[in-house]
Amino acid sequence: MLPAFAPLGEEEVRLTESSGRYVSRDVVARFDSPPFDNSAMDGYAVRAADVSAASPDTPVRLPLRGESRAGGALPGPLKPGTVCRIFTGAPMPLGADAVVIQEDTDRDDDEVVIREASPEGKHVRAQGTDVSSSALLLRVGDRMWPGEIGLLASQNIDRVHVFRRPKVALLSTGDELRALGDELDPGAIVNSNVYVLTEMLRTLGAIPIALPAARDTLPEIEAALRKALEADVVITMGGVSVGAYDFVQEAFKNVGIEPGFWKVRIKPGKPLAFAQYEGKPVIGVPGNPISAMITFEVLVAPCLRKMLGDPQPHPQPVVARLRNAYRRRPGRVEIARAVATREGEDVIVELHDRQGSGSLPSFVGVNALVILPADKAELAAGEKVEVLLWGPGLSGATSVFERLS
């Protein structure tokens, strides 16, 4: 499916609205950072040569001339043989080339007793040492997170070019589906999938467009598909299997959506369908809630990340060990729900005891999807498996800081 997905072009957004977006142009620094030499500590700005002989036994006494504080008036030049009071972040006076920290000094009226030497550059944050003007700050494909936002903010860059967010139409199918809060007549169920996939799309950074659920008739699904094709990507849910009321694929054909493939060898999620309308990706995920979630996460999300501008859209599994032995019918790759915890050197995964494709409670608290290879029938306790971290990620009973202290 990946080749059918490509970034959509770019737009310029405010830095304050760029969180989670992928940048579409390299970003280059505008000026040196720090923009001026400043002090890294509270203390006294000196000429290193004036204090080179200072030690606790041979302190040096120098007259105090002036003060420099962050945001204050710029200090005048430092005359040889004098010191200037200085605070963290304050500009260094011209001529000063080192700072003696406050802890190594004593104040005596308008003189300062210096008990430590301070070589040139000591405790000085020199102009341009963090970022030099015209340095490359961000590369195409970097994702905006708080750190990236901070860096651009520090450079007074208030707008950034990012890839456009795809609009993804979500089309649920099924006579039994009702919207959240609707009266549930006998035989009806809530269209929970649409809320799940809406949330998953938001987390990725795509724009979900939830269409009203279509009933299981060809005309209704076809009409809904035509509407859905206004979006950049279409995801249908349900009606894609072999039942007498599974009309989605027929509706694809009638609307002119070209079939790509149908059925994947993963469990859950076998009846996934992929098709294209004039190059636009159309994916039919199965209606079973777990199948819908897992096929979305494992197969659809990487495609959307690519479209969002992520140059490395594939999720990277981590290695973990199974807590318990597991027997299964081989044949399909199985994506099993599990809880992962850190234990000593290892990440241990405990498979949920209900792996059916319809059980929503089996997703509560899940933070790992274990990838069980197609050909394996038996897995031993302690065996290594690959795991996709999911949702809230790893947590544990003990804080890392408690363990390290």
Contact positions toward ligand AMP, by CB under 6 A? 172, 174, 176-177, 189, 191-194, 237-239, 241, 243, 246, 286-289
Which is closer to Mg ion, CB of 207 or CB of 223? 223
Judged by CB under 5 A, the chain residues 130 through 189 that form the site for Mg ion are: 174
Q: Copy the structure tokens of residue 392.
A: 């809230």
Give which of ligand AMP, Mg ion, none residue 284 binds (C-beta under 5 to 8 Å, depending on kind): none
Give which of Mg ion, ligand AMP, none residue 34 binds (C-beta under 5 to 8 Å, depending on kind): none
Comparing every residue's Cβ against ligand AMP, the nearest one is: 287
Angstrom distance (rounded) from CA 156 to CA 151: 9
Q: Are 66 and 120 in contact (CB under 8 A)?
A: no
Residue 93 binds to Mg ion (criterion: CB under 5 A):
no
Residue type at 128?
G
Residue 51 burial (C-beta neighbours within 10 Å; 0-12, 13-18, 19+): buried
Q: Are 140 and 24 in contact (CB under 8 A)?
A: yes
CB atoms within 10 A of CB 216: 20
Give which of ligand AMP, Mg ion, none residue 63 binds (C-beta under 5 to 8 Å, depending on kind): none
Give which of ligand AMP, Mg ion, none residue 289 binds (C-beta under 5 to 8 Å, depending on kind): ligand AMP
- What is the greatest pairwise CA distance in the chain? 96
Which is closer to ligand AMP, CB of 93 or CB of 238? 238
Residue 286 binds to Mg ion (criterion: CB under 5 A):
no
Q: Which helix (H) or strand (E) is 289 found in, with range? A: helix 289-295
CB of 197 to ligand AMP, least distance (A): 9
CB of 397 to ligand AMP, least distance (A): 35
Which residue intervals of 4-47 are DSSP H helices? none
Query: Given the DSSP bridges, would you call strands 368-372 and 111-114 parallel, antiparallel or unpaired?
Result: unpaired
Which is closer to Mg ion, CB of 248 or CB of 379? 248
Task: Please state the φ and ψ torsions of residue 300, each to the nearest 5 degrees.
Answer: -85, -45
264 contacts: CB under 8 Å, gap ≥ 6:
270, 272, 295, 299
CB of 215 to ligand AMP, least distance (A): 12
Which is closer to Mg ion, CB of 82 or CB of 236? 236
Which is closer to Mg ion, CB of 245 or CB of 261? 245
In 3D, which of 32, 237, 18, 272 has the Cα closest to residue 131?
Answer: 32
Which is closer to ligand AMP, CB of 205 or CB of 287? 287
CB of 184 to ligand AMP, least distance (A): 12
Which is closer to ligand AMP, CB of 91 or CB of 174? 174
Residue 271 binds to Mg ion (criterion: CB under 5 A):
no
Total interface residues for Mg ion by CB under 5 A: 4
Residue 238 binds to Mg ion (criterion: CB under 5 A):
yes
DSSP string across 169-208:
EEEEB-TTEE-TTS---TT-EE-HHHHHHHHHHHHHT-EE
Which is closer to ligand AMP, CB of 186 or CB of 344? 186
CB of 238 to Mg ion, least distance (A): 4
Which is closer to ligand AMP, CB of 216 or CB of 232? 216
Q: Are 313 and 305 in contact (CB under 8 A)?
A: yes
Q: Where are the beta strands (DSSP E) in 323-367?
A: 326-327, 333-343, 346-351
Give which of Mg ion, ligand AMP, none residue 177 binds (C-beta under 5 to 8 Å, depending on kind): ligand AMP
Residue 289 binds to Mg ion (criterion: CB under 5 A):
no
CB of 245 to Mg ion, least distance (A): 6
CB of 258 to ligand AMP, least distance (A): 22
In 3D, which of 349, 353, 357 has the Cα closest to residue 386?
Answer: 349
C-alpha distances in angstroms, 110 versus 85, 107, 278? 11, 8, 81
CB of 217 to Mg ion, least distance (A): 12
CB of 214 to Mg ion, least distance (A): 10
Contact footprint for Mg ion (CB under 5 A): 174, 238-239, 287
